[in-house]
A and B are shown apart, each in its own frame.
Chain A
Amino acid sequence: MDNSRQLFQYILSGLSNGAIYALIGFGFAIIYNATGIINFAQGEFVMLGGMFTIFFLAFFHLPLLPAIILAILFSTIIGIAFERLAIRPLKNATPLSLVIITIGASILLRGIAMLVWGKDTHAVTAFSGNDPLYIAGATILPQHIWIFAITLLIIAANKIFFNYSIVGKAMRACAYNSQAASLVGINVKTMVLLSFVISSAIGSMAGIIIAPLTMTSFDVGIMLGLKGFCAVIIGGMSSGLGTIMGGLLLGLLESLGVGYISASYKDAIAFIILLLILFIRPEGLFRTKETERV
Chain B
Amino acid sequence: MLKKMLRLILSMAVVGLMAGSAFAAAPIKIGALFSVSGPASFLGEPERNTAEMMVTEINKAGGIKGQKLVLIVYDTQADATKAVQAANKLIKDDKVVAIIGPSTTGDTMAVIPVVEKAGIPLVSCAAGIKITEPTKKWVFKTAQNDALAVARIFDYLKKKKISKIAILTVSDGFGSSGREQLVFQAGKFGIQIISDETYGPKDTDMTAQLTKIRGGAAQAIVCWGTNPGPAVVARNVKQLGMKLPLFMSHGVSSMKFIELAGDAAEGIILPSGRVVVANQLPKNDPQKKALLNYVENYKKHYNVEGDHFGGHAYDAIMLIKGAIERGSDSPAAIRDQLEKTEKFAGIGGTFQYSPQDHAGLTSDAFVLVQIKNKGWTLLK
Interface residues of A (CB under 8 A from B): 1, 3, 6, 9-10, 13-14, 16-17, 119-123, 125, 130, 132, 134, 139-141, 210, 213-215, 217, 219-220, 222-224, 254-256, 258-259, 262-264, 266-267
Contacts and interface: CB of A to CB of B under 8 A. Distances in A.
A139 B239 contact: yes
Given A9-B211, A120-B256, A259-B212, A266 B241 contact: no
A179 to B, nearest CB: 42
A262 B240 CA distance: 20
B207 A123 contact: no
Contact of B241 (A132, A214, A255): A132
Given A123-B261, A139-B239, 16 more contacts: A3-B215, A9-B207, A9-B240, A13-B211, A119-B41, A121-B256, A123-B259, A123-B262, A139-B240, A139-B241, A254-B208, A258-B212, A263-B199, A264-B171, A266-B203, A267-B200
Contacts of B231: 121, 123, 215
13 contacts: A13-B205, A13-B207, A121-B231, A121-B260, A123-B262, A130-B263, A134-B241, A213-B204, A214-B232, A220-B204, A255-B208, A263-B198, A264-B198
A23 to B, nearest CB: 14
A199 B278 CA distance: 50
Interface in B161-200: 171, 197-200
B223 to A, nearest CB: 13
Listed from nearest, the 4 A-B pairs whose CB atoms lie closest are A214-B204, A258-B208, A121-B228, A13-B207
B67 interface: no
Given A10-B211, A263-B199, A267-B200, A119 B37 contact: yes
A1 B214 contact: yes
Interface in B243-292: 256, 259-264
Interface of B: 37, 41-42, 171, 197-200, 202-205, 207-209, 211-212, 214-215, 227-228, 231-232, 235, 238-241, 256, 259-264
Given A13-B205, A214-B205, A266 B200 contact: yes
Residue among B214, B227, B240, B263 facing the most chain A CB atoms (10 A cut-off): B240
A78 B93 CA distance: 44
A130 B238 contact: yes
Given A141-B239, A215-B204, A215-B232, A263 B197 contact: yes
Given A123-B262, A215-B204, A215-B228, A132 B212 contact: no
Contacts of A1: 214-215
Contacts of B227: 121
A137 to B, nearest CB: 10
Contact of B228 (A17, A139, A217): A217
Contacts of A122: 260
Nearest to B259: A123
Residue among B211, B212, B214 facing the most chain A CB atoms (10 A cut-off): B211
Contacts of B260: 121-123, 215
Contacts of B238: 130, 132
B104 to A, nearest CB: 15
Given A119-B37, A123-B231, A130 B211 contact: no
A119 B43 CA distance: 12
Residue among B202, B208, B238 facing the most chain A CB atoms (10 A cut-off): B208
A13 B232 CA distance: 14
B205 A17 contact: yes
B347 to A, nearest CB: 22
Contact of B208 (A13, A120, A134, A267): A13
Contact of B211 (A141, A219, A259, A267): A259
B204 to A, nearest CB: 3
Nearest to A144: B239
A220 to B, nearest CB: 8
Contact of B215 (A6, A220, A256): A6
Contacts of B203: 266
B222 to A, nearest CB: 16
A123 B260 CA distance: 5
A222 B39 CA distance: 14
A263 B208 contact: yes
A10 B208 contact: yes
A224 to B, nearest CB: 8
A142 to B, nearest CB: 10
B264 to A, nearest CB: 7
Given A215-B228, A223-B202, A6 B241 contact: no
Nearest to B36: A119
Contacts of A119: 37, 41-42
Contacts of A17: 205
A219 B197 CA distance: 25
Contacts of A217: 228
A134 to B, nearest CB: 7
A258 B202 contact: no
Contacts of B209: 258, 263
A236 to B, nearest CB: 26
B262 to A, nearest CB: 6
Residue among A122, A210, A255, A258 facing the most chain B CB atoms (10 A cut-off): A258
A3 B215 CA distance: 8
Nearest to A17: B205
A140 B238 CA distance: 10
Contacts of B41: 119
B239 A259 contact: no
A224 B37 CA distance: 22
Contact of A6 (B204, B211, B228, B262): B211
